[in-house]
Amino acid sequence: MRKLFLMMMALSMLPVAAHAEMDGYGSVVAANAVMLGGTTIRLWGIQPPPASAVCDYEGTTDNCRTLAVQMLRELTQQHPIYCEEISYEAEQYISGRCTLSPADLGSLLVNAGLARDNRAESGGIYTFAESNARARGPASGRRKRL
């Protein structure tokens, strides 16, 4: 019961409405960011892998950030992205939740073991996806060290 209460409290702290919505074909600019309509959008609620982390993903062993960029490019190459602004962080970019209808890009990266849930920001939204990635382990082509 206490866990349910804490989760409800965390969800209630999330923004009720986004400031802006954007959609269209974008490009991947980092392991946790896309560019859409000339605006860089950092994927809200996730942490990119450390620069030195090595991962296994779909039979390939490489730097985790490289694999995360590769995965995002494959996902977004021929599909429009829809992003909701969560917060404005700097003049260069915003933080937002982005989807490839209906899949959340942050969740896909975390579930693949190529990013982590940033609980301080997300309130733990991606905790389940992160647990799934850890449970599968490196034998199933997921994260080695992250």
Domain membership of residue 115 (yes or no) is yes
| pLDDT reading at 29 higher than 90 | yes
State the CATH number of the domain containing residue 44.
2.40.50.90
Full residue range of the structural domain in which residue 130 is found:
2-140
Domain membership of residue 130 (yes or no) is yes
- Counting the structural domains of the chain, the total is 1
Q: Burial letters for 50-81: b for 16+ Cβ neighbours within 10 Å, e otherwise?
A: eeebbbbbeeeeebbbbbbbbbbeebbeeeeb
Domain membership of residue 19 (yes or no) is yes
Domain membership of residue 28 (yes or no) is yes
Domain membership of residue 15 (yes or no) is yes
Domain membership of residue 16 (yes or no) is yes
Q: How confident is residue 41, by pLDDT bands cut at 50, 70 and 90?
A: very high
Domain membership of residue 146 (yes or no) is no
For 54-113, how does the pLDDT look when each residue is reduced to its tens digit (9 = 90+)? 987 778 889 999 999 999 999 999 899 999 998 876 666 799 999 998 899 999 999 999
The pTM for the full model equals 0.77
Structure tokens at 124: 């733990």
Average pLDDT of span 21-39: 91
Domain membership of residue 29 (yes or no) is yes
Report the pLDDT value the prediction gives residue 91, as an integer from 0 to 100. Answer: 66
Report the pLDDT value the prediction gives residue 10, as an integer from 0 to 100. Answer: 41
